[in-house]
Amino acid sequence: MIQHREIRLSGSGGQGLQLSARILARVFINAGAHVAQSQSYEPTSRGGMSRSDLVIDEGTPDYPLATSLDILLILDECAAGASEDILGKGALVFFDAERVKTRPKTGMALPLTRKARELGNIRVANIIALGAMNALAEFCSGDELESAVRSSVPARFVDLNLEALAAGYEMAQDAKAPQTA
């Protein structure tokens, strides 16, 4: 049975949040779930606040917008604090240790941007986050997520993104268990 989940990926424009949401949607749809995905972003192409919500259910979601988050990712300071009022009980919160200065009340700081820089491209911080989040929240198998990444990114970037995904799993193994809301 597919569990009802609400996931928000938030940060700034240009961080690949919409791509990450499409990857997750593909994973859940391939598992037989129904997914409603919504996007919100400021009119700037890079730098303004951006977010993507997924509402996942075994049937058509009653409401397409997130109202009680189970998982929240914050990749940039501009999104810090914007979602705390809709965190569900026991929600898992993950945030970039370098780019988020206003720390959530609960959650886990992950060195996403630092690791992306080490891989040679800060634009894969979103994929590192997907790997870490999946390792810690266990919402799908690693093979399912890898397959969705492979089919969602341009061929010339597949290897880099798979390396980023693996770095996220490794990061999660090094992290302590996340605090819940």
Q: pLDDT of 13-31, one tens digit each? A: 889 999 999 999 999 999 9
The full set of domain ranges for the chain reads 5-174
Q: pLDDT of 101-141, one tens digit each? A: 998 888 999 999 999 999 999 999 999 999 999 999 998 99
Rama region for 42: left / alpha / beta (φ>0; ψ in -120 to 50; rest): beta
Q: Taking 60 as the threshold, does the pLDDT of residue 34 lie above it?
A: yes
pTM for this entry: 0.92
In Å, how far are 1, 10, 81 from 20, measured between CA atoms? 24, 10, 21
Residue with tokens 């593909």: 26
Query: What is the fold, at CATH topology level, of the domain defined by 5-174?
Result: Pyruvate-ferredoxin Oxidoreductase; domain 3 (3.40.920)
Token duo for residue 79:
């999104």
Q: Specify the pLDDT at position 181.
A: 56
What are the start-end ranges of the H helices in the chain? 17-30, 112-119, 125-137, 142-152, 158-174
